[in-house]
Amino acid sequence: MSAGVFAKLVVLVIGVGGSAVGVLALRQSRLQAAHEAAEARLRMRAHTERTMELRAQIARRVTPEALAAFADDPDLIPAIEARHGAAEMIDGAREWPGSGGGRAP
């Protein structure tokens, strides 16, 4: 076997080996991505189950009487007012709703 043929054979073996390593690396990356996606789905399922469990607990505890008592609370601040006026209330620039004309604490 001549040196030229041997060199070509070495280059061919190195090229095929490099291609094989590249394909294996891609396969491993794909498997790891699939594994991470499966773990994410399992975490989402666990969170969904926990959310459903909490919703069921809330539904058991919230009764029409409790909601009526909550709605009749004189210190209840409407959500829109609380959200948009929070900065001004902290600075004391506005009155608190239901405070009878008093300033923000």
Q: Is the dihedral of CA 20, 23, 27, 28 positive or negative?
A: positive
| Percentage of residues in the chain having pLDDT higher than 90 | 50
The tens digit of pLDDT for each residue in 44-86 reads 999 999 999 999 999 888 888 888 888 888 777 776 666 665 5
pLDDT of residue 105: 47
Is the confidence at residue 15, as pLDDT, over 50?
yes
Distance, in Å, from the CA atom of 24 to the CA atom of 31, rounded to the nearest integer, reads 10
Full-model pTM: 0.49
Say how many CA atoms lie within 13 Å of 31 toward its Cβ. Answer: 6
DSSP 3-state of 104 = coil
pLDDT of residue 33: 97
Q: Say which amino acid occupies 3.
A: A
φ, ψ at 95 (rounded to 5°): -85, 150
Question: Residue 22's pLDDT band (boundaries 50, 70, 90)?
Answer: very high
